[in-house]
Structure 1
Amino acid sequence: MSTTAQIRGRAGSGRRSLAEAVQRISSLPLGTHQSAVVRIGVSATYLLFLLRELPHRHELYGPDGPWRWDMARRLISNNDAFTVLMWSDSALWFETVYALTLVSAALLMAGWRTRATSVVFMAGVLSLQNRSIFMGDGGDNVIHLMAIYLMLTRCARVWSLDARRAARNAARHAQEGSRSRDVVGPVLWVVLGAVLLPGTLTGGLGGTWWLPSLLWALWLGNGAWWALNRYAPDRELRALLDVVANLAHNAALLVIMAEVCLIYATAGWYKIQGSRWQDGTALYYPLKLDYFTPWPELSGLLSSSALAVMVLTYATVIVQVAFPFTLFNRRVKNVLLVVMIGEHAGIALLLGLPFFSMAMIAADAVFLPTVFLVWLGRRVTLARQRLLPAAAGRLRLPGQRRADPDEEEAPRGGGGGGHTLVG
């Protein structure tokens, strides 16, 4: 074969590969199990945080805090941050926002009307955190970012009430030839639109352009999707919106991955520049602070070993710097991912930072292997069927036989959930 023919063959193969890649990222939402774990982990972390701080909510974000409402208003007028708590300084409004954020976190974790509840969750997270910006830590920053990214993902395709409802509708359509009419979804988006419109007109969505644009794009996109499914027989337009949703999901998932890599790379390279991290003694000092020693005996035992302190200090730096580069090797990445999750579990136990660790583990979950997540989901399902056999029987789909708890079932596709924008 001539050189020209070889070049043409390689060019044709490259074009086919590019076409296949474009087809894949536009026809399917990738990483559905990973995005579901991120959704569950982030919302569960913030739900538990809000519940723990329920007795102290007024001091943290409310009218009794040291960062008063008028001080927050002056700061927000300069940094253009978004918080609905600036719409009113009444205690009733604060209680309403706190309660809605707590409920939306629970509903997002369960995957109920995920697209709508993710918007409410994002608004609640940004509202509380931007009200008192000096109350947060690194974990709050991760929750802040993930709450924004989750709005763009189809994170309810598996392990959600949305997926269960979509599967039941599909089974009903296959058996009876009809689908149940959705009323709750459109009502939710009408209510959101009724809040979004005055918030936009009065400038209550912050001083930036991207947040109002994103919220209106989501609202109009869901309206167009519902109208096409309800009234228009043209499947090509519905397929086009499906492609847009898939592209948004895949792009958001890629941004989440890049964000996690950036967090670890930045933290690792900054640690390298510190003299305490260079001489291997950095871990010793937080173990001697009362604020970071929930278990003084355990902290004292660890800090008394110079070798253990040095090994853990250097290992922390090595793992954080190396992690972005291990993405090119799946096996090494999986091993390092286990080490990082163990590291965060140790931080939660030794330094008393459970919510920071939970937020980071939830973000790390975007890199977990699909095979492992499917296996884990199957084990959780079997455990639930053993513990709650009556509930498992009530929750099984139409036409689905009761599963034998001792039977190894093949993994099933999630189907539905975030498949429709209204869902």
Structure 2
Amino acid sequence: MTARQALRLGGDRIGSLGSRVTAALRDLTVRPLSLYSAAAMRIGLAGLYVVHLLRELPHADRLWGPGSPLTPELFDDTLRARGWDGAFGWWYGLLSTDSSLVFYAWYAVALAVAVLYALGWHTRAMSPLFVFVVVAFYIRGTSANSGWALLSLLFANYLVAVASGRRWSLDARRRAKRGNAPSRYVFWGEETEELRRRAVTVLHNAGLGVIALQVMVIYTSAAMYKIRGASWRDGSALYYAMMSDDFSTFPELSAWIVSHGTFTAVMAYVTVFSQVLFAALVFNRRLKYVILVVMLSTHLGIGLFMALPMFSAITIVGDLVFLPTSFWLAATALVRTWREPAAKPGERQPDTAPDSVPDPGPDTGGSAGKAQAGTRAEVS
């Protein structure tokens, strides 16, 4: 091969790579990714917050209300000491009141917002309102917040940019009934509307990317802290964690598990290595589900044996961002199969109509042109 042929071959490869990169970047502006994962995260986060508010309702007065040890006067002093009494001071002190009636009125509003957000009712309006609620409760309970509260706050903020109402929502049902009828709320030209659609798509994909990055940072940083500890290096960390009175749901069962020293040591190493390698393995098509199952097992173990159910649940919600659309379509088809009544002996199964096949939506399209067409029909 001559030098000219080598240069021509290299130029062709560079041109092919450049065209693929350009197509991928163009695809990110017209094809919203992982719409089912976004919907699952919305339902999971808002549903957990509903459970949280209902579970803490008997103790709400002591946690965030007038009966809290952090009295409204002391809370206002805390805001001033931290420099939070500026333009958003009214927001941060929303729950700081001496009136039980006012407090429980805001509590009812927060519960209603979380329920409507989980149902996907006017999701674009509900998502910032949900953040409004979460931030108010987080700041008011600043002296008793946990990892669950912090992660719920972060995910709620990130989901504002995500189009989480395109699937499994009341908004999606309303759009399906409307069909291909044009939206009544378009007040500008087609070019401006196309620019708006692409901006929404870019924000959606960027929001999912930030959530994925946040989850990877959580796992990697947790692994780095574990590696620094001698108990994790010698495999005895789970023994001390499960034998702690503060983190023990079933003391007898925990004692029986830690009596098998080799098993607990192996589980400790599996926990560390799975967190270290998570960011590298989760993007591999073959190993993605393996590492996600390992992390799911870890979270379930933490929630069951260490009395941290809300923290385990919110981390599982974060992991949902890595599940592809093909997984959700397969799961949906499986659920529909289970829900179908069994055919009686000798009864002929009806043929499946073409329109009964679930629409994969624009997030599973192949080319940018098909994705753009799907996005135009779906983005409102």
Q: Which residue of 2 aligns with 1:30?
A: 33
Q: 2:222 aligns with which of 267, 291, 310?
A: 267
Q: Which residue of 2 aligns with 1:6?
A: 9
Query: In the alignment, does 2:85 pair up with 1:84?
Result: no
Gaps of 5+ in 2: 343-349, 363-374
Give the counterpart letter for 2:42 in structure 1. Answer: R
Q: Which residue of 2 aligns with 1:131?
A: 140
- How do 1:14-413 residues align onto structure 2 when only pairs under 5 Å count? 14-77=17-80, 78-80=82-84, 84=91, 86-87=93-94, 89=97, 90-170=99-179, 173=181, 226=185, 229=186, 231-232=187-188, 234-383=189-338, 410-413=357-360
Instruction: Name the CA shift for 1:72/1:412 in 2 (closer, same or farther; >3 Å).
Output: same
Deviation at 1:409, TM superposition (A): 5.6
**Count of equivalent residues:** 351
Secondary structure class of the residue paired with 1:134:
coil
The answer to which of 131-140 and 110-119 deviates more is 131-140
Gaps of 5+ in 1: 182-225, 388-402
Give the counterpart letter for 1:288 in structure 2. Answer: M
Over the matched positions of the two proteins, sequence identity in percent amounts to 35
Alpha carbons 1:163, 1:414 under 8 Å: kept: no
Alpha carbons 2:110, 2:133 under 8 Å: kept: yes
Deviation at 1:24, TM superposition (A): 0.5
Instruction: Name the CA shift for 1:356/1:14 in 2 (closer, same or farther; >3 Å).
Output: same
Alpha carbons 1:287, 1:299 under 8 Å: kept: yes
Deviation at 1:411, TM superposition (A): 3.1
Instruction: Name the CA shift for 1:235/1:316 in 2 (closer, same or farther; >3 Å).
Output: same
Q: Which residue of 1 aligns with 2:371?
A: none
Aligned residues: CA RMSD: 2.7
What TM-score do you get using the length of structure 2 for normalisation? Answer: 0.85
Cα deviation digits, residues 226-267 of structure 1 (max 9, x gap): 4xx1x33x1111110111110101111000000000000000
What TM-score do you get using the length of structure 1 for normalisation? Answer: 0.76
Alpha carbons 1:265, 1:320 under 8 Å: kept: yes
Instruction: Name the CA shift for 1:72/1:145 in 2 (closer, same or farther; >3 Å).
Output: same
Instruction: Name the CA shift for 1:404/1:65 in 2 (closer, same or farther; >3 Å).
Output: farther
